[in-house]
Every structure is written in C-alpha cells, then in structure tokens.
Structure 1
Amino acid sequence: MRPTSLPCSRYPPTPTTRTRRRRRWSAQSASRASDPRLRRYHRIHAPSFRDRRARRARARHRRHRRRLKIVDDDGRRALHMKSANDSSTINRDVKGKVHLKDTPILEWEWKSIVLPKGGNSCKKATDDQAGQIFVVWPRFPEQVRSRVIGYVWDTTQPVGTICKSEKTGTVTYVVVRSGSGDLNKWVAETRNVVEDFKKIYGEAPEDPAILSLSIDSNDTGTTSEAMIGAVRFKSQ
C-alpha cells in the first residue's frame, strides 16, 4: 500500500520554476477574467449551455404567446390560434371536475380560417390540423400507456374517420369536420365521449384528467389558423 504523504512543516515548500510559471499563469488568467471587456466577450460570445437553453425557452414562450390569443369574434369569446411550421397547445386540468357518468357529451364551437395544406391525420408525414381538441386519460408511463382522443378538423380525411396517430402512439383521432367547405364559419359540434371511448378502446372510460386545445402545421411545413369558442361537457 502506498504510504500517505504528510507535511513535514507548516510552511510551504520553495516554489520550483514550474510552480512559478503556473502561479504566473493563474495570476494572468485572474487579471483577464477581471477585465470588463473579457467578461463582456464571454457573456456575448461564449454563453453556457444553460443560458442558451433558457433563451430558447424564452423565445418559445414569446412565440407561443403570439400564436395564442383570447379574442372576441362575432360576439363569441374565443381562443385564436395560429401556426407557421410549428405547433401550440394549451392544457386545462379537469381532473375531478368532469364526471362522464353525468356529463358524457362534449360540446364546442370552432372556426377554421386556414387549413394546413396537405394535412392528413392518419399519416405521420402530414399529421397537421388547424383545430384539435384532445381529451386525455393519463396512465403511467404516460408516453406509452396514456389514452388520448383527438377531435380534429382535418384537411383531407373524410368526416367520421377514426385512426391511430402514426406519430404519437397514444393518440387516436376522430375526424369531426373536414376540408374547406365551412372555412371562416362558426360551427357547433357535439360528441359522446363515452361512446367514442368504448368504440376505440373496447371498454367504458374513467373520468378524464386533461383537456387540450391545439394547432399545428410542422409536419407539412405550412400554416394554419383557427378559433375555438366555448368548450364544455354536458348531460345528454
């Protein structure tokens, strides 16, 4: 076993030439670090990974805020959503607030203004929609076992189409409206969530935990725009 070296004196040893050089270099480094021009250089030209990540997060947040706005349209209070080769989502926690036994019907109003060109919910490469309403049942692990029904306004798939997303395996789409025939019009929709869940998963659902409103155009690399008005669960 290698013996442990113990100091033979409380005074430091006489520095060698290498030690002197090292100390001189350390002093020069400290002097440079204290130079405000150098600090400014580091701040501007050599940001840390954490700084870059924070800036990207702030940029996404600002972009997200520009894409989602509350507006008044035709006497309706609505969420105005825009997408340009990106996606935006707003979530609402409904755990303990929605009881499907009493209120199985999901009702909402929406208006599509721009549909993502070539959007097709059933294909991974074109999985974009102007209007999306997701009812979510999280299950651990969420990325694998959660159950999500997405009610969408699709560009090309016909109304009534039900397909599992090739992009996100936990999502099943239900095409509620399709194409440009009703563009720039407010349209009312109703869906029996319990019946849709049974048709998709073969069993009765528990109460959902999350309701999400979303828009995207990142797969087709196009743009989309829509408004979603009041959304509520109600009795039959």
Structure 2
Amino acid sequence: MTRRATCLLLVALTASGLGAQPAAELPPLLRADGALSAAWRFVGFPKQQADLPPTRFEAGRADGVPAVRVLTASSYGTLVQDWRGPAPARLQWRWRLDEPLSGGQAPADILTKAGDDAALKVCVMFDHALDRVPFVERTVLRIARRVSGEALPAATVCYVWDSSHPAGLQGANPYSKRVRFISLQGQGAALARWVAESRDVAQDFVALFADELPDGAGTPRSAAPVVTRVLIGADSDNTASTSSGWVSDLRWATGASAGTP
C-alpha cells in the first residue's frame, strides 16, 4: 500500500472510532450562538503517519449566512459526524468557493495521485458488505479491521467542488476505490456565491458502486447499505496549494422538505 492509501484507511479508522449513534437528524454545524458545534469532530491524518498542517474550520458569516469557513494551506482535515441509519430522501446543503486551489507546486487533478486534492467536499460513509468488495481491497480492509478492532467503512461517496475539471465528473479516488466521487461544481463555476445542493445519497451510492451490487445499474436505491457517518472537508496537501470556501445548512431532508434545498 502507498503512504497515502495507508493514511486514508487510518483517517477512516479515526472517524469510525468515534462511536456512531442512531439519529433522526444531523446536528447543525453551528451552535445557536454561531460557534462551531461540538457534535462535529475534527479528524486529520494521524501524526505518526504524516505531520500535515490541519485544514482550518472556522465559524463565521458569508453574505450574512452563518456558515463554516474551510481554509486549506498544504493541509488536510475533515469535520465528522457519526450518524447511523438508512439514508433519508435527500442530503441538502449550501456551499460557496471563494478561492479555488491555487499557488501550488503541482496542478490539482482529482483523477491523479499527485493532484488528488479538493477545495470543498461533503462525504457520506456506508456500511457496505465486505463480501461485495474485490479480493485485494477486501484483504486490506480485513487486515486493518483485525489490527484496529474497528469496522472500517468499505464505501464512501464524496461530493466535491473541483478546481480542474468541469462539473459532472464521476470516478474513484486514485488511492482507493473505497472512495468514489461526483463533482457537483467544477472548473469555471462562479466564485464567491452560494450554491444549493440536494442529493439522493442512496441512489448515488447505487450508481457509483454498481459494480459491487448484485444487479448492477438496475439496483434500486433501497439496496444501499445504512449510512455510518457524514463529513465535510478540504485538502491541499498533495499540491501544496491553498483554498478558501464555506459550507452551511447541511441537513437530511425527508418528505415534502426533500424537494427544496
């Protein structure tokens, strides 16, 4: 395994060790007084693997909207919420990118290991059946689970704001196919303005992991495994670049509310 792949597993392990609890709603990112909520915990690379600067998460306002500011500088980090249960109808949030990945030693390119950074991301982890995972990746996961004593996530769907490709790009993380992504905003997207997103994460899981499901692309969304955690983050450690953005109003939407981001 590469250093980056090992770190990805260990980061997932750190998140999984936080003790996911059943919940009906996602806790808000901000408290009523505008400070960061303690329900969301920071997870970065383990120091024994990489002494990387942490991505910064700060409570603030952008155009009057209370939000979490996400700042990278050759850094990595996520805010994680342990939430376990079947995926509700939609996951909704608002985000804006003020400064795309720039000033780095290498160009950002989410399809390559050297450029695998994202200025903003919202990810959902699933309790995917291990027997659906290809043999080599399954073996790596089993070893890591045995050594750690934790049930590492076998599947993660990430929604990214990409700085180098047009929106709509889908694929697997170049370090691990356990993480697959959809680029919702991409190169050329307007900066410094709020964008509302609304995703059926169960359907997106089925589409992205169709090769590991019994009926492939024809599988209904009900076949998606339960969600184990949700996170927001950004990283610029591979390209040694910087970025600045915001995330707000992250929530599950059900019933009539599912149609309005």
Is the shorter-chain TM-score for this pair beyond 0.5, marking a shared fold?
yes
Deviations along 1:136-160, one digit per CA (max 9) or x if unpaired, are: 0145738686100010000112211
Matched, 1:175 2:183: yes
Partner of 1:161: 169
Matches within 5 A, 1:1-236: 64=54, 67-96=56-85, 99-100=86-87, 103-117=88-102, 118-138=107-127, 141=141, 146-202=154-210, 203=213, 204-235=223-254, 236=258
Quote the Cα distance in structure 2 between the aligned partners of 1:130 and 1:136. 19
Structure 2 spans left out of the alignment, 5+ residues: 1-46, 131-140, 145-151, 214-222
The change in CA–CA distance for 1:229 and 1:145 in structure 2 (over 3 A counts) is closer
Asked if the contact 2:77/2:234 (under 8 Å) is kept, the reply is yes
Quote the Cα distance in structure 1 between the aligned partners of 2:72 and 2:153. 28
Quote the Cα distance in structure 1 between the aligned partners of 2:89 and 2:208. 15
Deviating beyond 4 angstroms after TM superposition, the runs of 4 or more aligned structure 1 residues are: 142-145
Structure 1 spans left out of the alignment, 5+ residues: 1-55
| Number of equivalent positions | 173
Deviations along 1:126-176, one digit per CA (max 9) or x if unpaired, are: 011111001001457386861000100001122111110112331101000
TM-score, length basis structure 1: 0.66
Asked if the contact 2:70/2:246 (under 8 Å) is kept, the reply is yes
Amino acid at match of 1:164: A
TM-score, length basis structure 2: 0.60
Amino acid at match of 2:111: C
SS where residue 125 of structure 1 aligns?
coil
Deviations along 1:173-222, one digit per CA (max 9) or x if unpaired, are: 10000024311111111111122111112242122111011111111111
**% identical aligned pairs:** 23
Q: Kindly report the root-mean-square deviation, in angstroms, between the aligned alpha carbons of the 2 structures.
A: 2.4
The change in CA–CA distance for 1:223 and 1:193 in structure 2 (over 3 A counts) is same
What is the CA distance between 1:83 and its match in structure 2? 0.6
Name which one, 1 or 2, has greater alpha-carbon Rg: 1
